[in-house]
Amino acid sequence: MTLGLDPGSTTTLVLLRHGETALTPGKRLSGSGGSDPALSETGSRQAEATAARLAADGTVRAVASSPLRRCRETAAAAANRLGLPVEIDDDLREADFGVWEGLTFAEVRARYPEEMAAWLRSPAAVPGETGEPFEAVTRRVESARDRLLTRYSGSTVLVVSHVAPLRTLIRLALGAPPESLFRMELSAASLSTVVYPSAGDASVRFLNDTSHLR
Q: Which residues contact 120 (CB under 8 A, 6 or more apart)?
A: 179, 182
DSSP run (H or E) holding 197: strand 191-197
pLDDT per residue as tens digits for the range 47-92: 999 999 999 999 999 999 999 999 999 999 999 999 999 999 999 9
- Predicted pLDDT of residue 186: 98
DSSP run (H or E) holding 166: helix 163-174
Q: With 70 as the cut, is the pLDDT of residue 131 above it?
A: yes
Q: Which of 74, 60, 53, 33 is nearest to 161 (CA)?
A: 74
User: Residues 120, 126, 127, 128: is their CA dihedral positive or negative?
Assistant: negative
pLDDT per residue as tens digits for the range 141-164: 999 999 999 999 999 999 999 999
pLDDT band of 1, cuts 50, 70, 90: low
Alpha-carbon separation of residue 115 from 30, 32, 97, 174, 178 (angstroms):
18, 19, 12, 28, 17
Q: What is the dihedral of CA 134, 139, 145, 148, to 10 degrees?
A: -130
pTM of the predicted model, to two decimals? 0.95
What is the CATH superfamily name and number for domain 10-213? Answer: Phosphoglycerate mutase-like (3.40.50.1240)
Task: Give catalytic residues, as residue numbers.
Answer: 18, 94
